[in-house]
Amino acid sequence: MNDFTVNPSNLRDGASKVTAGAEAFVSSSGRPQPANPDDYGQIVSGSVGLAEPFTTDAFKEFLRSCGVLSDSISERLTKSADGYTETEATNAEESNKITSSINDLFD
């Protein structure tokens, strides 16, 4: 016997927190705006002009991808909680059948 236990309620709570994080990633992906090359002076502005808007677009895509990843994690946590709950219900049902069968032997 080991000391490992799973609380499906905690998994579901964690899933809802991760979902909130996913929503924050997705909603924040629209906020970044491309830098204005003129804000960097004559020497750097050429480089900034070449890098934008690609850099900002890549960052927005990164944020959206983090949201998708977080949604996937949340979904898997929920499925794990459901699996543990279902397994415990099945185990309890089987245990009751075994107990009933044993009791029938002595009745």
Mean pLDDT by 10 residues, the chain (107 residues): 84 96 93 89 89 93 96 97 95 93 87
Q: Can you give the pLDDT at residue 1?
A: 56
Q: Cα torsion at 95, 97, 101, 104 (round to 10°)?
A: 110
Q: Residue 54, SS3?
A: helix
**DSSP 8-state symbol, 35:** -
CA Rg value for the chain: 26
The domain limits of the chain are 9-54
Read off the pTM: 0.74
64 alpha carbon, distance to own chain's centre = 13
